[in-house]
């Protein structure tokens, strides 16, 4: 009889020691206190009741289950100390324990994902264990790629009281964010956000320029004709004074043509014209000028040949 009692006492002491050690280890890995959400991993420790001490993953509906409790316990949106009170009351109301001492720590947050996608070097998803800024999130993704557009879209997703999903988008200008001129653009992310970095739209320049091609539009209002010509390394020798912008009407999808007086813009006699993503700037050839130059070159060549011939003839005589 005494032997059995000694074994029970030893077993109880061992269980308490294991429980205390487990709790101590979990406390060391406890994360910053935030509200608990679906898929978070919790460590539940009940003093002198190792059968209830365990790690639990919060279900998609925001509930957890303990052994010998008939009903699941909702914990989503609660802080750990609030969950401790809820579990202690549930154990006591079920007649399982008297004045239980419950400790709840968060081992892993999985309900606060922040995704960074698009024109960044390393798209990723991470857990916002603590609130992070938009710049911090972009830095974790390796920064913006050169082809990133002029705006960053921050999509926030929440659940309405009736259970329906809610989504709204905040637009952040890249230039203001990077320069720090408006600190309010450096948004605080707490989890559940998606940071989208769209690639910049492109404008196209063809015809009599030195470097035809497609060039990104880095400004929200568009890019100017002069800037596009600078990117294309300037006009070719026989470029026309009149260029054309080919643009698609977003409402009807039809294409139309806009004449652009290049020489007047270069001479500052006409205000700048802004190009929008998808526009095509066509610089035609000035055929009359090319023809005139060709005639002059032939005349110069003929005159040089005539003079040379006269000189040779004179020397020969």
Cα 32-35-38 angle, rounded to 5 deg = 110
7-43 pLDDT, tens digit each = 333 434 444 444 444 444 444 455 677 889 999 999 9
115-134 pLDDT, tens digit each = 999 999 999 999 998 899 99
Count H helices and E strands in the chain, helices first. 7, 19
What local confidence, expressed as pLDDT, does residue 3 receive?
A: 44
Residues of the chain with confidence (pLDDT) below 50: 1-28, 291, 293, 302, 305, 307, 309-316
Class of the CATH domain delimited by 2-108: alpha beta
Cα 51-57-58 angle, rounded to 5 deg = 115
Q: Where are the domains of the chain?
A: 2-108, 113-197, 202-285, 287-317
What local confidence, expressed as pLDDT, does residue 287 receive?
A: 65
- Does the predicted model carry a pTM greater than 0.75? no
248-268 pLDDT, tens digit each = 988 888 889 999 998 888 888
Token look-up 């290049």 returns 262
Fold of 113-197: Outer membrane lipoprotein wza fold like (3.10.560)
As a CATH number, domain 202-285 is 3.10.560.10
Residue 21 in 3-state DSSP? helix
Q: One fold for both 113-197 and 202-285?
A: yes
What local confidence, expressed as pLDDT, does residue 17 receive?
A: 44
């Amino acid at each position: 009889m005494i032997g059995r009692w000694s074994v029970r006492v030893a077993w109880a002491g061992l269980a308490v020691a294991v429980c205390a050690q487990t709790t101590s280890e979990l406390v060391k890995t406890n994360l910053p206190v935030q509200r608990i959400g679906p898929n978070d991993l919790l460590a539940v420790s009940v003093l002198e009741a190792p059968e209830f001490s365990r790690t639990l993953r919060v279900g998609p509906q925001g509930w957890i289950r303990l052994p010998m409790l008939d009903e699941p316990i909702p914990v989503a949106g609660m802080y750990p100390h609030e969950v401790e009170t809820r579990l202690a009351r549930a154990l006591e109301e079920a007649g399982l324990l008297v004045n239980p001492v419950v400790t709840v720590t968060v081992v892993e947050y999985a309900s606060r994902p922040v995704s960074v996608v698009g024109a960044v070097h390393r798209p990723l998803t991470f857990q916002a264990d603590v609130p992070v800024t938009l710049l911090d999130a972009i830095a974790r993704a390796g920064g913006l790629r050169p082809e990133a557009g002029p705006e960053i879209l921050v999509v926030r997703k929440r659940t309405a009281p009736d259970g329906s999903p809610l989504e709204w988008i905040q637009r952040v200008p890249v230039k203001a964010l990077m320069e720090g001129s408006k600190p309010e653009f450096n948004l605080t992310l707490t989890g559940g956000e998606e940071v989208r970095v769209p690639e910049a739209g492109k404008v196209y320049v063809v015809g009599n320029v030195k470097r035809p091609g497609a060039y990104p539009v880095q400004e929200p209002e568009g890019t100017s004709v002069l800037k596009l010509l600078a990117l294309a390394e300037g006009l070719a020798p026989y470029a026309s004074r009149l260029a054309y912008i080919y643009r698609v009407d977003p409402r009807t999808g039809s294409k139309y043509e806009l004449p652009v007086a290049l020489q007047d813009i270069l001479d500052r006699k006409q205000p700048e014209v802004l190009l929008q993503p998808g526009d095509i700037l066509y610089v035609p050839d000035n055929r009359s000028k090319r023809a005139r130059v060709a005639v002059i070159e032939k005349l110069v060549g003929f005159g040089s040949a005539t003079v040379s011939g006269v000189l040779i003839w004179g020397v020969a005589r």
